Amino acid sequence: MQIVAITNGGNLVRHGEILEALRKAGYRLTPQRVMVLSAMAKGKGHLSADEIYEEVRQAYPFFDLATVYRTLQLLVKLHLATAIEEAGGARFELVQEGSNQHHHMVCEECNGVFDLPPHYLNALKEQVMREVGFEPHMEHFTIHGLCADCREREEKKAVS
Amino acid sequence: MQIVAITNGGNLVRHGEILEALRKAGYRLTPQRVMVLSAMAKGKGHLSADEIYEEVRQAYPFFDLATVYRTLQLLVKLHLATAIEEAGGARFELVQEGSNQHHHMVCEECNGVFDLPPHYLNALKEQVMREVGFEPHMEHFTIHGLCADCREREEKKAVS
DNA sequence: GTTTCTGCAAAGCCTTTGCAGGCGG
DNA sequence: CCGCCTGCAAAGGCTTTGCAGAAAC
């Protein structure tokens, strides 16, 4: 088939690395897989299977949801992407490296998503590894709670 | 209806507190709800809706899965239980207090679940609160990774 | 040329919802 | 008694799977 369009506003380097890793592992570089990766690199993180589906379908209307799921399963199996289980369905993210890596804080009040630099988890990771013998894999991590703004609002409410 | 049997090998005190909280919030203390709470208190932590269903059905065969889900939704809404989203379905846990509180580590290899004492997260919690202004709610927390046994096995494999 | 991969369709989970009757307060 | 709650059944989402044809290597 012909690739109609592949746009990439995001993490181009990482995207290429992953294509390379796929090929090396003996998997075929089909246009569908390339487009899924483009969509994931473009929309930074936290995409649902359906969002990826819709994104790719704009360039290639015959694209199928089953292909999204099969590609995502493959990426997760090769540790090139991670699945984030959430109520209402899983979300997927390419594994990030170095300065691009980050965790998330989700506000239970306003549902806002905030980034947390990775170093915050280093101490915990090491301590668990050292004292418990369990090796944490926390390439991606989500903390639920209250953001600063909503916390302030709650406090005002409590006073009145 | 008649309650056939309510056994409770677990956290009786907490269980009673929750019944009280339900009543105070204006909800009816039906035998079904009591039995769901018993099952949750007995099987300690991370039960699936289906496991609760099967447990209660042993005492009361007419029991329905929909009732489990409705009860669980209610408990979560009142912050008496928490939902833990996992691949293959959510798991539920009564909110634990004091020394009963604990977090979980899930091994990606053998799928084993291990407990992590709560103090491990205190430092992270405080640091995020102090430096970022975000108030983490981590009554339940799950870390994915490799348990000690599986890690050892992986290392042997790498050497050979 | 093979073998893998895709698109299509159908099925499989987990979870929610509508409704009539039953039970708790 | 009133209104909430249950059991039953059916529907709703997300995800997986079987299969024949198409595409990658």
Please write the tens of the pLDDT for every residue from A50-86. Answer: 999 999 999 999 999 999 999 999 999 998 999 989 8
Q: What is the pLDDT along chain A (160 residues), one digit of tens a residue?
A: 654 444 444 455 567 789 999 999 999 999 999 999 999 998 867 899 999 999 999 999 999 999 999 999 999 999 899 998 989 999 999 987 765 677 888 887 776 778 888 899 999 999 999 999 999 988 778 888 889 998 988 777 666 5
Q: Do A1 and A31 meet the contact criterion of CB atoms below 8 Å apart?
A: yes
C1' of C12 to CA of B87 (Å): 15
Mutate which of A143, A146, A149, A150 to disrupt the B interface (most B C-beta within 10 Å)?
A143
Check residue A157 and give its pLDDT.
66
Q: Which residues contact A39 (CB under 8 A, 6 or more apart)?
A: A47, A51, A52, A55, A56
Whose C1' is closest to the CA of B63: which nucleotide? D7
Check residue A47 and give its pLDDT.
94
What type of residue sits at position A42? K
Contact between chains at B133 and A147 (C-beta distance less than 8 A): yes
- Which pTM value belongs to this model? 0.83
Which whole-number Å values give the CA distances from B133 to A148, A151, B136, in the listed order? 5, 9, 9
Q: How many CB atoms lie within 10 A of CB B66?
A: 10
Separation in Å, CA of B55 to nearest CA in chain A = 24
The sign one gets for the Cα dihedral B83, B43, A136, B112 is negative
Q: Do B36 and B51 meet the contact criterion of CB atoms below 8 Å apart?
A: no
